[in-house]
Amino acid sequence: MPLKNLMLPILAILGLTEIAFSAPDLEMEKKRQCRSVHLSYEMGESLALYTEVVVQKSAPGTYFCAMGFNSGYLGMQELSNGKKIIVFSVWDKSNTDDKNAVDESKRARVLETGEGVRTGRFGGEGTGVQSFYDYDWKVGEAVRFLVQAKQVIVDGVAYTDFKGWLYDGKRKQWQSMTTLRTPTPKKRIYLRGGYGFVEDFRRNYKSAKIIRRARFQNTWSLGLDEKWTPLTKARFTGDRNPATNVDAGKDGDGFFLQTGGATEMKTNKLWSWMQGDVRKGKLPKSVLPLIGSEKK
């Protein structure tokens, strides 16, 4: 998925958008594309985040962001040609959209790349490094994701290493995406503002008539006390698109997001907080050695 327009839904999640758009522009978006909808979790600063996504309805040109955070995001896409991929990206520490204008000292850079993973720099709306892995996920499959932030000191300079993983259900093993390092000289960066979303990036008018739906389940946060806590409360938000055919609510061991087509907002209203049920799922034990933690 191109990163253009990605920052707008993220800012909407954080409640930071104050940009005015004309009515004709918004009406065009309503007809052209499904509204992007998000889950914004109630959580503290974290060392790692784990979640599972079960896509229930998809269409070409859809991004299911499993876990976004203050410095990047990790998720799964169905491209316009139907190909399925996993994406993990981290932003530079810069205020430009020109990827070539960022000083080397402020760039995110690739430290490690998992087998079969492709990487490259991006620009357009923010800059950084993105990585891709071909994974033919299926509707109904519980796809597992893990992301970690770890501070390191190199020659007296502080950095944060972000590492993302996907559990490859076909090979029955964790697939490392990349380890992406960013400079953090002033303040240590933890994972904050965890969120998931569903986005229609095909935007060809026909795509707005197709329902997209996913369940975000069994989500956990590793706090600064190195204890894992289930994330059971989230806020339902949307981007600037005025379409009202969106919905969200409790679903199994998590929450669902739905947008487009004949969807009706009948479960919860936009901008409302949702309290999930007591967590039934457990954190997979296979997660612990990946991040060097043996605490549950």
DSSP 15: T
Answer whether CATH 3.30.450 is correct for domain 7-291: no
pTM of full prediction above 0.75: yes
CA distance linking residue 18 with residue 174, whole number of Å: 40
Domain boundary assignment for the chain? 7-291
112 bridge partner residues: 179
Contact 149, 159 (CB under 8 A): no
Q: Which of 170, 175, 190, 200 is nearest to 261 (CA)?
A: 200
Q: Which of 35, 43, 47, 85 is nearest to 201 (CA)?
A: 35
DSSP 287: G
Predicted pLDDT at 192: 94
In whole angstroms, what separates CA 277 from the centre of its chain? 22
- Low-confidence residues of the chain, pLDDT below 70? 1-24, 185, 293-296
Please name the residue that has the structure tokens 């509204």.
Answer: 35
CA distance linking residue 99 with residue 122, whole number of Å: 6
Predicted pLDDT at 1: 41
What's the first-to-final CA gap in the chain, in angstroms? Answer: 35
